[in-house]
Chain A
Amino acid sequence: MSKFFISILLLFFGSVANASGQNDVKPYNLLTFKQIEAGCPWLQTGNAAGLSQMPELFPSELKLEFGHSDGDFHSGFKGQSDQSFNFSSRSFRKINKTYLYGSFNYSKSYEKRLNFSNTNDPALNYPYLLADTIGNDTYDREFFKLEGIISSTLNANLDWGLRFDYQVGVASQNRDPRPENKVLLTNISPGLLFKINHFKLGANLTYGYYNEDIDISVVEEGVQHTLFQLHGPGVFNYHASSSFYRLYLQRRLGGGMQFEWRPGIISNILHSDYIYSVQTIDDGRKASFATWAAVKNDARIDGINWNMTDVFSIDQGGKVQQLKAMLHVTNKLGTEFIQRLEKVGETDLEHWITYGKEQKYYSLQTNAELNYQLLVKDGNNLMKSLFKAGLGYSAFDEKYYLPNQELSYSNLMLQSSYLKLFTLTQAKISAEMKLKYQFNLNGTQNLRATNFMVQKIYAPEFNYLTRNFISPGVSIGCQIPLKKAFGTYFIKSDLEWYHSANGFNRTIFSLSTGIIF
């Protein structure tokens, strides 16, 4: 039993500890993880019990990665360049009838030439963002992430599973006003899988928690900065202060169901997830010149995240063809708190008194995709090529009521990629070509206000989101077998280039190296 728990712990660090039943030959290559992901739709369902449906491949990986992206084609809430250094490990294991997956990631990154953002992940908190007007900032981030999945058998017809992930980190800026964001993200999801004849039925629950605590300080003595609390397109409050405090807190609860029919070489799996989230945003100030005596409730977001996917597969042994249709809906309803600072009680302390709560913001994001993939395997049952082609449709509509503001757009994206593994004496070379093309179907922007925030943030962001672009990419990898302790050494490089219709460009480059065993 102790060996079992030690193995679980070591999984996160890509342990070389072998489980019984596995032989010492490690034929895995740098496509094996991709093969597991592409070849097992159950791993994409979110049901941890589905881990037991993975192919009999149990690779481990230790990897160092350097990433760099630069260019003027980017979101207004993101910096112009981003440099990251990652150390990661991941491993699949099987101990008796128990399947295990663990991963660990350490990331250090620098997002440079950033304007108008004081939140770590603007997409997570949109539309209730925090911005200042001092540009050319750098976000220095340091994050750790642990992820684990365990799945085992209860009886011949029933599997159980548990998935969790835990991410914690700090993001900070180095110039006044300088936010320090302490971020915690965690999810836990238990699941069950019932098997009978050609049918499999799965169900899982998900609970998630997100907390971002932002402490903004001004180091320069006697100086205050204006901080903008964005509420929606063109709508904001602002305050001048030498310190500011903001807390984002989100709880998510939901679940999913999966249904698979596999009579022979064909199979179909239909799965759906539904998650309801509640996020609150609170503000405050501190320090000796505080004028807010208590934390103020700024807003609340109620959100729905609904996903439905159907994957149809034909497994002919050496070839696996897959057709995947996906619909994903994200829906947000924003409520603002109308509060006034008043003295209450006999102590002369000031508190924010709530006079009303008004629903003001609504957004609906719809993504639909249709993808085809052809996976070809060699005689060792390892992937040697992967072809993908897909069509994606995305639509976004957001409204802010009184003063009435509205944004909406829809885009269509075509993407295709082809990955091939070649043998060159002892070494193996992987090469991948990618192409993405997005074109805008429509876009309307009805912003009555022409204030600073509209000019600097919302109008450029709308242009970015609705711009046609083309993105070719190439990826080259090389792996060399190692003789003794570890299986394979690899080095891999990825390059993607984005070019938008208005002449903006972005280059994304990464170089990774490590071992797979």
Chain B
Amino acid sequence: MKKVLVIISLLFLFGSCLKEPDYHSYQLDFVVDFGKDFPQEQRGGAKVTLFNQLKNYTFEAETDPNGKIQFASVEPGFYSATVSKSLKSDLITYNYYGLKNTDVFTNVTDTIKAKISISGAFVIKEIYYSGSTTPAGKIYYADQYLEIFNNTSEIQYADGISVLIHESSNAGQNIWANIKDTIVAETIWSVPGNGTQVPVEPGKSIVIAQDGINHRDDPKGNPLSPVNLGNADFEFYAFKPKTTDIDSPTVPNLIEDYSGNEIIKEITYVVGGGSAITIAKIPGNNEEERKAYIKRNLIAKPSSSGSETNFYAKVANKYLIDAVETVKDEAHAIYKRFTPELDAGYTYVASGSRSGKCVRRKIKEVIAGRVVYQDTNNSTEDFLKDVDPKPKIYE
């Protein structure tokens, strides 16, 4: 009986707690490779931002004089490390950027290559891709537009400037990532002109509309659209036998240089985000020469069914003037397509499709009434998210 009582007493006292978490932390050591021509004494002080892609928080630190940086006690996860460094030489400022995606499940030692980035005369000021909702509750995206801004103090000519959409739509890995210093575009449309026909004054812009109409008043528009694009400078218009695309009589059309998709010929930005958009000056002084260049640089891709082959256009990075990576959301940032020298970051409309919101470049400064937009080639830093579309308004 005593033994039974002892056993019973032990059973009553039975109870153990869980042990404290067996968690992991790792150390990340990066060396920033600025290239052999970069002055040794300038390698310190570069800002390195480590971003946890799952939890949306960042660490920031600066490189030591040898261009090295260490992050200690980093929790496991998926990170992106971006480097930015400005180097002043006489009156010119050179911006260096680098990006490295890193999976942290052990201690990491890696190199981040930083490349020089040159700001172009034209910058993409605003992208409105999210579309709006009609009173009937339907989606409406004919009011999408892109705004290109002259960020210099001199008149620039937009003739021959092309708008390109990257072939990868941010739903998966960019299969063209291994083609060095080149992007692969699905569609290329260009501003008409002989070189002096489309002047853009300093601090002014041109608006390229999906459909150049007043979307709020036009019977074919949407009264709930946030924009009037009746005064747009150009529009995308793709003639097809059964087209539903509107050809505005008051807004001139862009030239269709190439479309890798014969069904959806006109440029349509993904309303949920994910279009990687760039403006470029493709070699050639006219439409024929541009198309000849594009034809020489086509690359094949079998369709997902394998029954047919589509062709897309390779364009060298050196011809790109400005690039903005828009992604669906943070979860899809891992499918970023532009390399750091084109765009070290990404942006998106967090409110999502149909929200009537857009992304707009931040103002850097105002010089004698002329707005200068921020262009560090890092759209995470350069762009405002979820703002109201304001074509041709500079504020």
Contact = CB atoms under 8 A, between A and B. Distances in A.
Given A289-B272, A399-B20, A259 B350 contact: no
A333 B21 contact: yes
Contact of B24 (A240, A342, A350, A358): A358
Nearest to A339: B54
Contacts, number: 129
Interface stretch (B8-16, B202-210, B261-269): B8-16
Q: Which 5 interchain pairs have the tightest Cβ spacing?
A: A222-B354, A359-B21, A224-B352, A222-B133, A306-B15
Interface in B34-75: 54-57, 73-75
A304 interface: yes
A32 to B, nearest CB: 31
Nearest to A333: B18
A238 interface: yes
Given A358-B24, A360-B23, A308 B13 contact: yes
A237 B329 CA distance: 13
Contact of A240 (B22, B55, B132, B351): B351
Interface in A259-314: 259, 270-272, 274, 289, 291-292, 302-304, 306, 308
A237 B328 CA distance: 16
B272 A237 contact: no
A402 B331 contact: no
B23 A259 contact: no
B198 to A, nearest CB: 34
Interface string A464-496: 000000000000000000000000000000000
Contact of A356 (B18, B105, B328, B332): B105
A34 interface: no
A65 to B, nearest CB: 37
A341 interface: yes
Contacts of B20: 333, 362, 399
Interface residues of B, number: 50
Interface of B: 8, 11-25, 54-57, 73-78, 103, 105, 132-133, 137, 139, 171-173, 272, 304, 328-332, 334, 350-356
Contacts of A257: 8, 11-12
6 contacts: A239-B331, A259-B8, A291-B272, A303-B18, A308-B15, A358-B76
B330 to A, nearest CB: 8
Interface of A: 201, 221-224, 226, 235-242, 257, 259, 270-272, 274, 289, 291-292, 302-304, 306, 308, 329, 331-334, 338, 340-343, 348, 350, 355-356, 358-362, 364, 399, 401-403, 449
A141 B137 CA distance: 30
Contacts of B54: 237, 338
Nearest to B354: A222
Given A224-B355, A449-B57, 7 more contacts: A222-B132, A239-B331, A329-B15, A338-B77, A355-B105, A358-B21, A402-B73
A338 B55 CA distance: 10
